[in-house]
Amino acid sequence: MSFDKDEMLDKTKNYVKAQLLDAEPGHDWLHVQRVHDTAMLLAEGENVDHFVIQLGAYLHDIGDAKFNNGNEKIGISKIASFLHSIAVPEMIIDSVIKIVEHISFRKHFEHSDYRSRELEILQDADRLDAIGAIGIARAFSFGAYKGNPFYDPQKKPDQNINKKTYIKGSAPTINHFYEKLLKLKSMMNTSRGRMMATDRHRFMVNYLRQFYREANIDHSIYENS
Ligand code: ADP
Ligand code: NI
């Protein structure tokens, strides 16, 4: 079957850009572009469908419940009807939808047997954007949006955080490093992703050390929690 992939990718890019015009900096077009570029890098030399990865990268946050008042179905049907409207073949739509349904960090709280290499690559790319220098910027940006304090030595990180508390996201931003960001390095699916995560992880650890020095707080409450 022949179809014009470049035209479909262009249409998808324009659709996503328009949807994200007022997006907050944590999930704007620049985030989508970074996830796309990192995913393409991770896909080099892998036996995967690059078209599925590209569509998945562009659309991965459009379907997210947090942009649809917590509803997990609305975003998914929005994506499906968009892909139908530009005549993407059914099998490809199915793969992209599966990716969008499973990519989020929140999903690891639930069990699912679905796997695809394309999903694993996109998940690594999205997670890499949550750590390192950009990840730190995104965390504080999210915290500011929620009105959370940078830190509160009275509030220990919740090491057994569940889906509900994670979504609520009302803890001090420093806690989020222990509740999610420092865990991502060991959750990578690809070896290249793991290498990139190791570098970004090291940067975050150094950042936290400097943070505690400047804030003059005892870091043991974080590191021993
Ligand atoms: P995902 O899409 O993988 O489920 P989220 O949308 O929950 O991830 O997170 C988007 C960005 O906001 C990430 O960089 C994440 O680390 C950050 N973030 C999420 N929850 C918090 C929080 N409670 N405090 C600070 N940053 C957060
Ligand atoms: Ni994302």
Nearest ligand to the CA atom of 142: 1
Give me the DSSP letters along 89-132. Answer: -HHHHHHHHHHHHH-SGGGGGS------HHHHHHHHHHHHTTSH
Predicted local distance difference test score (pLDDT) of residue 161: 84
Q: Which residues contact 93 (CB under 8 A, 6 or more apart)?
A: 80, 83, 84
Query: Is 101 a residue whose pLDDT tops 80?
Result: yes
**Quick one: what percent of the chain has pLDDT higher than 70?**
94
pLDDT band at 168 (very low <50, low <70, confident <90, very high): confident
- The pLDDT score that the predictor gives to residue 69 is 65
Q: What is the pLDDT of residue 113?
A: 80
Decide: 143 in ligand 1 pocket, CB within 6 A. yes
Average pLDDT score over residue span 135-150 = 96
User: For ligand 1, atom 20, which residue shows the shortest CA distance?
Assistant: 169
Determine the pLDDT at residue 73: 81
Site to probe by mutation for ligand 1, drawn from 101, 105, 122, 182 as the one with most ligand atoms within 8 Å of Cβ, is 105
Measured from the Cα of 139, ligand 1's closest atom is 26
More confident: 74 or 85:
85
Q: Atom 27 in ligand 1: which residue has the minimum CA distance? A: 139
With a 6 Å cutoff on the Cβ, whether 106 touches ligand 1 is yes
User: Residue 65: its pLDDT value, please?
Assistant: 57
Q: How confident is the model at residue 67 (pLDDT cuts 50, 70, 90)?
A: low
Q: Is the CB of 130 under 6 A from ligand 1?
A: yes
Q: Percent helix, strand, coil in the chain (nearest 5)?
A: 70, 0, 30
Ligand 2 centroid from CA 143, angstroms = 16
Q: Is the CB of 178 under 6 A from ligand 1?
A: no
Please state the φ and ψ torsions of residue 154, each to the nearest 5 degrees: -80, -15
Report the C-alpha gap between 127 and 134 in whole angstroms.
11
Q: Does residue 58 register a pLDDT over 80?
A: yes
153 lines ligand 1 (CB under 6 A): no
pTM: 0.93
| Residue 91, C-beta contacts closer than 8 angstroms, at least 6 positions apart | none
Check pLDDT > 70 for residue 68: no
Greater pLDDT, 106 or 4: 4
Mean pLDDT of 146-159: 92
223 or 4, greater pLDDT: 4
pLDDT above 80 for 132: yes
Question: Closest ligand 1 atom to the C-alpha of 127?
Answer: 3
- 104 Cβ closer than 6 Å to some ligand 1 atom: yes
In single-letter form, the type of residue at position 52 comes to V
With a 6 Å cutoff on the Cβ, whether 193 touches ligand 1 is no
